[in-house]
Amino acid sequence: SQKIEQNSEALNIQEGKTATLTCNYTNYSPAYLQWYRQDPGRGPVFLLLIRENEKEKRKERLKVTFDTTLKQSLFHITASQPADSATYLCALGTGGFKTIFGAGTRLFVKA
Amino acid sequence: DGGITQSPKYLFRKEGQNVTLSCEQNLNHDAMYWYRQDPGQGLRLIYYSQIVNDFQKGDIAEGYSVSREKKESFPLTVTSAQKNPTAFYLCASSIGGASGSGETQYFGPGTRLLVL
């Protein structure tokens, strides 16, 4: 069956360190993969999109990698800050209008 | 300011009652979506609309209905047939269009529906 998995356990890191979140999927052939940030009680906010023919994408302190052989994406936040504390959602797009969302990983950055 | 608005923020439903959640966008996007979010689960797609006057069922459409009479508006009705409606409902939009896709979705602030 098709599955998209993110670490269900929260990730706790110290301010200034790099946070790395993982998204694994099975039985999908995504055309692109997206990462969103969601704060408690609010709607997700789009962060980055990476396409199947791209290995890496960067935006300010954010970096996403996409390995279609491993069926995995890694999302990195460098020089993390307490304001980065949120839930981060991975989402797969197959090229149509349906997007498959993971359950998200909660990140806590301690000052 | 461009964006998506949802109302109300909280909604209470009584047994056997239909309720309607509002979603409006002024981003001039063609595509709009409704998702349901339950604790510990990913967003699940209820309905989506690629373009005005057209909409498609998502993965969990049973007990829900939508309309898309205007480009800016995509209301969702939770009918009495939906037996477990308590959830956080999110509306989203994307540029979309006839040859578009669901990438880069912009979300509203959400409506929390509770059953009395």
* Residue A5 pLDDT: 93
Residues 6+ apart with CB under 8 A from B19: B11, B13, B77, B78, B113
Q: Whats the size of chain B, residue-wise? A: 116
Best CA proximity match to A19, nearest among A94, A93, A79, A98: A79
Q: Per-residue pLDDT for B99 more than 70?
A: no
Per residue in B45-90, pLDDT (tens digit) is: 999 999 999 999 999 999 999 999 999 999 999 999 898 999 999 9
**pLDDT tens-digit series, residues A48-92:** 999 999 999 999 999 999 999 999 999 999 999 999 999 999 999
- Candidates B50, B59, B107; nearest CB to A44: B107
% chain B with pLDDT above 90: 78
Cβ separation B105–A46 shorter than 8 A: yes
What is the C-alpha separation between A39 and A37, in angstroms, rounded?
A: 7
The minimum CA-CA distance between B6 and chain A, rounded to whole Å, is 10
Q: Which residues does chain A have within 8 Å of residue B40's beta carbon, measured at their own beta carbons?
A: 8, 103
Q: Lowest-pLDDT range, A29-33, B20-24, B106-110? A: A29-33
- Confidence band, pLDDT 50/70/90 cuts, at residue A47: very high
B2-11 residue pLDDT tens: 699 999 999 9
For residue A26, the tally of other CB atoms under 10 A from its CB is: 10
- What is the distance between the terminal CA atoms of chain B, rounded to a whole angstrom? 36
Residue B80: closest CA among B20, B28, B23, B40: B20
